[in-house]
Structure 1
Amino acid sequence: MSPRRRTIPLVLVTVFVLMPLLEIYVIVQVGQVIGAWWTILLLVADSIFGAWLLRHEGARAWRALRDALQAGRLPSNEIADGALILVGGTLMLAPGFVTDAFGILLILPFTRPAFRRLLATAVARRLVLDVTRPGPGPQGPVVRGEVVDDD
């Protein structure tokens, strides 16, 4: 089994089991410190701020994408920013302080470049072809020969 196939179940367990448990723990801890109603109010205010931030930064990323395309540049940073803003906005929709904090980090324009570099590294790692590893190729026997061109 490849290392990537071994990490997928670990990532799924983390996302679907450990993250909700961590969110519940943090919400309960905050609720014990500031009270239940203040915690609920803070979660609602956090969601409203996240929606505003998502709309503001999403519009900004869309303008940057349009400008890059009109200038004839490859919009790689703009596409990465759009993806990070989309993921950050999705995290902001989930109730909880941990996912909201991570979502805000993905959306904010001064923290996004660090995550853009991580995303570029992850994408590049998946796109690089490893020629030393046997993979799908021509089926059947390989006939060695020489091409002779009569022209």
Structure 2
Amino acid sequence: MAVVFLLYVIAEVAAVWAVASLIGVLPTLGVLLAGAFLGSWLARREGGKAARAFLTTARSGKSPHAEITDGMLVGVGGLLILLPGFVSDVLGLLFLLPPTRAVVRRAWLRRAERRAPLGYPRHRGVVIVDSEVVSEDGPRQDSPPRVIEG
């Protein structure tokens, strides 16, 4: 994980250096600030859309898996946009824009389905429900425990 973070930092520094050498230092800072403001506006807008879509789907009784994933991806995209740097801005835009977010969502859900267990394990045998039978008068000591055999 530390190697990935180091590579990310190197890529960010290289991208900022390249842009600054092309347009200058102050315009580069301006572009970074404009990207942060534009990205935060876009994240707020897309987050609101994702929340409304979630509520609509949940009220209709359908499973809101796609809407939950969209909301999560919008949150990650907004976080990436607010980080300073061009690489994180591009990645954040991929998570914020609806067409690319749909592609990322499908890939994410496919990966989650592959990694998810296929079903709950099935246990066969005897399950003891309780160890004493309780009546209105209190516990009865003469009754055996209830048992459900599977």
* TM-score greater than 0.5 by the shorter chain: yes
Give the TM interval when normalised to the shorter protein: 0.7 to 0.9
Q: Look up the match of 1:111.
A: 100
Q: Within 2, Cα distance between the matches of 1:128 and 1:115?
A: 22
For residue 88 of structure 1, the aligned residue among 77, 83, 88 is 77
Does 2:42 match 1:53?
yes
Greater relative CO, 1 or 2 (CA 8 Å, sep 6+): 1
Cα distance in 1 for partners of 2:29, 2:115 equals: 41
Residue among 63, 70, 79 paired with 1:74: 63
Counterpart residue number, 1:148: none
Tell me if 1:21 matches 2:42. no
Q: Which runs of 4+ in 1 moved over 4 A?
A: none
| Structure with greater Cα Rg | 2
Cα distance in 2 for residues equivalent to 1:92 and 1:128: 34
- Structure number with higher helix proportion: 1
Residue in structure 1 matched with residue 89 of structure 2 by the alignment: 100
Please provide the CA RMSD for this pair. Answer: 2.3
Task: Tell me the alpha carbon deviations over residues 84-134 of structure 1, each in whole angstroms, 9 at most, x when there is no partner.
Answer: 11111111111100110010111101211100011101211221349xxxx
Give, as a single letter, the amino acid of the residue that structure 2 aligns with 1:112. R
CA distance in 1, matches of 2:75, 2:112: 17
| SS, match of residue 111 in structure 1 | helix
2:131: which partner in 1? none
Unaligned runs of 5+ in 2: 124-150
Q: Which runs of 5+ in 1 are unaligned?
A: 1-8, 131-137, 139-151
Q: How many residues align?
A: 124
Q: Distance in 2 between matches of 1:75 and 1:129?
A: 20
How does the TM-score come out when normalised to structure 2?
A: 0.76
- What percent identity do the matched residue pairs reach? 39
Give the distance between the partners of 1:128 and 1:31, measured in 2 at CA: 49
Flag the structure with higher strand content.
2
SS at match of 2:98: coil
